[in-house]
Amino acid sequence: MKNRIDALLAATLRRCFDNKTLTECQVPYYVIEVPNHPDHGHFATNLPLTLASAQKRSPREIASTLLENMVDEDAFLEAVDVAGPGFINFRISVKE
């Protein structure tokens, strides 16, 4: 699942760079992890926090931009939301 989320984030960043909603830059190291609290989703990333300096924007604003440009073609995500200072939480869809 982490690999799918990472690929989705990479595609979203490329879309944001191409449509100029984010300034193209070297993508800093970021993590995709399981949150400590289950109410925060199945996975979370700190990507917006790591991009804030290069983008000269708030992490929450970057997170919102990423969500607006995210295309989940496989519909494997049930929900994606911005949390705290700029984390993105992912809830994986449970398919029958």
Note down pLDDT in tens along the chain; length 96 residues: 899 999 999 999 999 999 999 999 999 999 999 998 888 899 999 999 999 999 999 999 999 999 999 999 888 999 999 999 999 999 999 763
Using alpha carbons only, give the angle 86, 20, 79 rounded to the nearest 5 degrees: 40
Half-sphere exposure of 63 (CA within 13 A, CB side): 21
Rounded to an integer, what distance in angstroms lies between the CA atom of residue 20 and that of residue 40?
Answer: 30
Residue 88: alpha-carbon gap to chain centroid:
5
80 DSSP β-pair partners? 90
Residue bearing tokens 């991009």: 51
Amino acid at 3: N
2-92, CATH topology level: Gyrase A; domain 2 (3.30.1360)
Q: Could you state, in order of their start, the residue ranges of all structural domains in the chain?
A: 2-92
